[in-house]
Protein backbone atom coordinates (compact mmCIF):
# COMPACT_ATOMS: atom_id res chain seq x y z
CA UNK A 1 0.00 0.00 0.00
CA UNK A 2 1.31 3.46 -0.87
CA UNK A 3 1.49 6.28 1.67
CA UNK A 4 -1.18 8.36 -0.08
CA UNK A 5 -3.65 5.45 0.19
CA UNK A 6 -3.39 5.05 3.98
CA UNK A 7 -5.29 8.13 5.17
CA UNK A 8 -8.31 7.53 2.86
CA UNK A 9 -8.41 3.93 4.14
CA UNK A 10 -8.35 5.11 7.77
CA UNK A 11 -11.30 7.41 7.03
CA UNK A 12 -13.30 4.34 5.96
CA UNK A 13 -12.41 2.25 9.03
CA UNK A 14 -14.05 2.61 12.43
CA UNK A 15 -11.76 3.87 15.21
CA UNK A 16 -8.55 2.39 13.85
CA UNK A 17 -5.08 2.78 15.35
CA UNK A 18 -2.37 2.70 12.68
CA UNK A 19 1.27 2.13 13.63
CA UNK A 20 4.06 3.13 11.24
CA UNK A 21 7.77 3.91 11.27
CA UNK A 22 7.31 6.51 8.50
CA UNK A 23 8.12 9.86 10.17
CA UNK A 24 6.31 11.70 7.37
CA UNK A 25 2.99 10.90 9.05
CA UNK A 26 3.77 13.01 12.12
CA UNK A 27 1.69 16.06 11.13
CA UNK A 28 -0.93 17.94 13.11
CA UNK A 29 -3.23 18.21 10.10
CA UNK A 30 -3.58 14.39 10.04
CA UNK A 31 -5.50 14.42 13.35
CA UNK A 32 -9.00 13.00 12.85
CA UNK A 33 -11.59 11.88 15.41
CA UNK A 34 -12.08 8.51 13.68
CA UNK A 35 -8.50 7.22 13.88
CA UNK A 36 -5.13 7.42 15.61
CA UNK A 37 -1.72 7.50 13.96
CA UNK A 38 1.23 6.24 15.98
CA UNK A 39 4.63 6.98 14.48
CA UNK A 40 7.43 4.88 15.91
CA UNK A 41 10.78 6.69 15.82
CA UNK A 42 12.70 3.59 16.90
CA UNK A 43 14.65 0.72 15.35
CA UNK A 44 12.79 -1.85 13.29
CA UNK A 45 13.54 -4.68 15.71
CA UNK A 46 12.01 -2.72 18.59
CA UNK A 47 8.66 -2.20 16.90
CA UNK A 48 6.67 -4.95 18.64
CA UNK A 49 7.84 -4.02 22.12
CA UNK A 50 7.02 -0.32 21.60
CA UNK A 51 3.57 -1.10 20.17
CA UNK A 52 2.90 -3.11 23.32
CA UNK A 53 4.26 -0.30 25.47
CA UNK A 54 1.94 2.26 23.82
CA UNK A 55 -1.14 0.07 24.09
CA UNK A 56 -0.44 -0.65 27.78
CA UNK A 57 0.28 2.99 28.65
CA UNK A 58 -2.31 4.63 30.93
CA UNK A 59 -2.53 7.49 28.41
CA UNK A 60 -3.43 5.28 25.43
CA UNK A 61 -4.79 1.95 26.73
CA UNK A 62 -8.27 2.47 25.21
CA UNK A 63 -9.45 3.50 21.77
CA UNK A 64 -11.23 6.49 23.28
CA UNK A 65 -7.94 7.78 24.68
CA UNK A 66 -6.17 7.35 21.32
CA UNK A 67 -8.71 8.67 18.82
CA UNK A 68 -8.07 12.04 17.22
CA UNK A 69 -4.35 11.99 17.95
CA UNK A 70 -1.14 11.75 15.99
CA UNK A 71 1.47 10.30 18.33
CA UNK A 72 5.24 10.09 17.90
CA UNK A 73 6.97 7.47 20.05
CA UNK A 74 10.68 7.63 20.85
CA UNK A 75 12.97 5.96 23.38
CA UNK A 76 12.76 9.05 25.59
CA UNK A 77 9.02 9.58 25.49
CA UNK A 78 5.99 10.62 23.51
CA UNK A 79 5.07 13.68 21.47
CA UNK A 80 1.54 14.12 20.24
CA UNK A 81 -0.85 16.36 18.42
CA UNK A 82 -4.55 16.53 19.12
CA UNK A 83 -6.92 18.23 16.70
CA UNK A 84 -7.99 20.81 19.28
CA UNK A 85 -4.49 21.49 20.70
CA UNK A 86 -2.68 24.76 20.16
CA UNK A 87 0.70 23.14 20.72
CA UNK A 88 2.37 19.77 20.70
CA UNK A 89 2.21 17.78 23.94
CA UNK A 90 5.50 16.22 25.09
CA UNK A 91 5.94 13.70 27.91
CA UNK A 92 8.48 11.17 29.11
CA UNK A 93 7.65 7.50 29.52
CA UNK A 94 5.90 6.69 32.77
CA UNK A 95 7.88 4.45 35.06
CA UNK A 96 6.34 1.18 36.15
- Output the average pLDDT for the chain: 93
Q: pLDDT at position 85, please?
A: 87
Structural domain tally of the chain? 1
Given this model, what pLDDT does residue 95 score? 63
Residue span of the structural domain in which 36 resides: 3-92
**Cβ–Cβ contacts within 10 Å for residue 43, how many?**
10
Contacts 24+ apart (CB under 8 A), 10-19: 10/34, 10/35, 10/37, 11/35, 15/63, 15/67, 17/63, 17/66, 19/47, 19/51, 19/54
Residue 96 confidence (pLDDT):
57
Residue 23 CB partners (closer than 8 Å, separation 6+): 39, 41, 72
pLDDT of residue 94: 75
Q: What is the pLDDT of residue 84?
A: 85
- Kindly list the averaged pLDDT for each block of 10 residues, start to end, along the chain of length 96: 92 95 96 97 96 94 96 96 91 76
Task: Give residue-wise pLDDT tens across range 37-51.
Answer: 999 999 999 999 999
Amino acid sequence: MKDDEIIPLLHKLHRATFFTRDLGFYKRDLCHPNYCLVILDIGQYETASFIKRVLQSKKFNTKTKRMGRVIKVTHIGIKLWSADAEKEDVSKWELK
